[in-house]
Each structure stands twice: as C-alpha cells, then as structure tokens.
C-alpha cells in the first residue's frame, strides 16, 4: 500500500483566479511520485536504479511559477482533446466548431487554456488521489458540459492513471498525461543511450504541420519499426530522423495491453507502458531548446527527454476511418494507463 501525503505547493496568481495549489506525494518502497492539483501535473517521479539509488526521472520545475508560465506541458494532463486538430475545426451534426489555434495553423492539447492550466478538486484515496473538474459547455470552443475525473494510484512499482468523463452534449474527447521522461535522471543531457520498443505494426504519417495525412502505414521496413528494442541515438542517425513526434496505432478494444518499453542500460532503469487506449504518441523532445530552467537549475536541450502519450489518434474528429473520439450523453469515457518501473 502506498503512503499518501498532501502539502501546499503554492498559490495561483490573482489574474488566473487565485486559489491554493496542493502537492500530493504518493510513496511505495520503490517509487515516489508528486502530483499537483494544478493541471494534474506529475511534478516529480523517483525510481531506483540497479544500485537502489533513487533519481527523479521526469522534467519539470521547482516552483508553481514555472508551471503557470508557458512550457511544453511538462507532466500535465491535457484535454479536452489531446494532440492536434487540423485548422482547429471540426463539424458535428452539421455544425462547425472553431477552436483556438495555438500550434501554427492547428489546435493542440485543448487550446489556449486547456486542462493543463486549471485547478482541479482533489480527493485523497487510500493509495492515490482523484482530481475532478467540470469543463463548462463551450469551454475552448468544445460543446457540452464535461465532468472529468483523473485518478492516480500507486501500487508497488506501478503507477496507474485512470481517466473518466461524462458529457451533457456530444463532444470529442481524448485525455493523456504529457510527462517527459529521462531514465538517467531529469537534467541528463540526452536520451540517445536509451533503448525503446513500441508494440505497434502501424503508425500515422504526418504533413509538415504534424497533422496525420490519413494514411495508416505499416512500420515494416521503416525507421518507425520499433517492435524490437532500438538504441535511440543510433536509430535516429541510421534513419536520418530529427526525432519522433508520431502516433503509433495500438490494438483496439478496452483490454489492457503492453504498448512500450524503455530501458536505460547504464542505470538499469526500465519503464513499461500498458494502456487501454488506441494510440501512443512517441515524442522525443524535438522542440526542447535549453531555454527553460528546470528542477535544480537543470536545462533541457533537444532530445533530453521522451514522452509516451497514450491517447486517441490525432485529428480523429476529422478522420472518419480513425477510432471515434466522440462521447455521447449517457456514455462514459473510461481509459487507464499503467506505468511500471523496474531495473534490468
């Protein structure tokens, strides 16, 4: 059973509505995680290496101010729709909805003030914490009043994140957590010595604004074939890739399945990702540029972390042949992702 503690982390600026931000510390023998009531942010995640030494393996900030300023969604829950919607537009039942454009010509991760930039109401559980918020009808251009629950639970070396939602009107929804990992420890300069595997036979090619073209392409014989572990640095060189920022297509259905594994041979740390979601966005921190001061005054240059974001496929609301992101009144959105930590 994990131990759960709560403490005050900071106070929201008055221009953002004020309010107290709490930090919840979940701790087992092998994992310690800190989660904020602002954005449901995973602010720290400590796991052991093979010498039993703990290190914090997620990027982030020491203070609330870092998270309230512009940053690339470090550790946050993003929504109402994770990833990109082309031109910030979609049509549903003959009505066109226009969202805020915050990623070139597209809408990304819920818009100008998505789920990552708001206070959630916490409730402590025996081995975790549940966060709740009500997203008003029309928030960021999305229809329907949406009740959302995000629950983090820690059991031994496994952190589970469950997402539930109910809506008053038909709406698209896709929720994920945007933690940036470096198994050598946050602040380490790159992830080139990490080994990564992803259990996906196909992926989504994208245009130059990172919107899927609509093709579902086989990974076989391409640089996107990660079904066997690859050393990231060597692999990027071999296939002349600037990095990954792509959706990998997972088995459909509500069953839990293993979808990715990361291993850092020098420390021995491993991480497995299991999920019920249909997609996994693998991102290698291509847009990190060293300009943000992180925890312990660390800087975060390009390729200094990776994200494994379990979610629906990007722009699915505009692609009828993709898994549907639409939630109807009376239905419940319910997905879980499990992060399992160890050594090898």
Residue numbering of the annotated binding site for beta-D-galactose:
83-84, 178-180, 245
Binding site: residue ranges?
83-84, 178-180, 245
CA distance 200 to 198: 6
Contact predicate 57/183, CB 8 Å? yes
Q: What is the DSSP string of 199-217?
A: --SEE--B-TTS-B-S--E
Helices (H), 104-144: none
Contact predicate 7/43, CB 8 Å? no
HSE (side-chain half, CA atoms, 13 Å) at 180: 27
CA distance 218 to 206: 14
User: Of these residues, 22, 140, 178, 195, which one is catalytic?
Assistant: 178
CA distance 262 to 251: 20
* 195-198-203-205 Cα dihedral, nearest 10 degrees: -20
What secondary structure, in 3-state letters, does 41-93 show?
CEEEEEEECCCCCEEECECCCCCHHHHHCCCCCCCCEECCECCEEHHHEEEEC
Look at the chain and count its residues.
344
HSE (side-chain half, CA atoms, 13 Å) at 326: 14
Decide if 11 is catalytic. no
CA distance 83 to 110: 8
Decide if 321 is catalytic. no
CA distance 278 to 250: 5
Calculate the alpha carbon distances from 290 to 40, 181, 226 in Å.
24, 16, 28
User: Within a 10 A sphere around the Cβ of 140, how many other Cβ atoms?
Assistant: 20
Calculate the alpha carbon distances from 327 to 49, 87, 148, 165 in Å.
41, 21, 12, 9
Annotated catalytic residues are 178, 309
């Amino acid at each position: 059973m994990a131990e759960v503690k709560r403490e005050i982390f900071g106070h929201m600026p008055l221009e953002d509505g004020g309010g107290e931000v709490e930090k919840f510390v979940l701790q087992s023998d092998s994992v310690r995680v800190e989660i904020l009531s602002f954005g449901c942010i995973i602010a720290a995640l400590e796991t052991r290496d093979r010498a039993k030494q703990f290190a914090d393996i997620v990027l982030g900030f020491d203070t609330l101010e870092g998270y309230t300023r512009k940053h690339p969604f470090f550790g946050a829950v993003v929504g109402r729709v994770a990833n990109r919607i082309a031109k910030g537009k979609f049509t549903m039942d003959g009505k066109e909805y226009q969202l805020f454009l915050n990623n070139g010509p597209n809408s990304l991760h819920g818009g100008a003030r998505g789920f990552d930039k708001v206070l959630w109401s916490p409730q402590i559980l025996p081995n975790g914490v549940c966060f709740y918020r009500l997203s008003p009808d029309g928030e960021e251009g999305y229809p329907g009043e949406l009740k959302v629950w995000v629950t983090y639970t820690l059991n031994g070396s496994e952190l589970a994140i469950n997402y539930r939602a109910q809506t008053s009107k038909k709406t698209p929804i896709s929720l994920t957590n945007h933690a940036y990992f470096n198994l050598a420890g946050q602040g380490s300069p790159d992830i080139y010595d990490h080994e990564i595997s992803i259990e996906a036979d196909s992926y989504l090619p994208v245009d130059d604004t990172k919107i899927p073209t609509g093709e579902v392409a086989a990974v076989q014989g391409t640089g996107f074939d990660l079904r066997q572990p690859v050393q990231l640095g060597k692999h990027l060189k071999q296939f002349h890739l600037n990095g990954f920022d792509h959706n990998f297509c997972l088995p459909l259905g509500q069953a839990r399945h293993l979808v990715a594994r990361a291993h850092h041979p020098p420390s021995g740390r491993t991480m497995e990702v299991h999920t019920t979601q249909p997609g996994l966005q693998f991102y290698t921190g291509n847009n990190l540029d060293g300009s943000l001061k992180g925890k312990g005054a660390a800087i975060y240059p390009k390729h200094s972390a990776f994200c494994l974001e379990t979610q629906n496929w990007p722009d699915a609301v505009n692609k009828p042949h993709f898994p549907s992101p639409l939630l109807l009144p009376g239905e419940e959105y319910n997905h879980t992702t499990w992060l399992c930590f160890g050594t090898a």
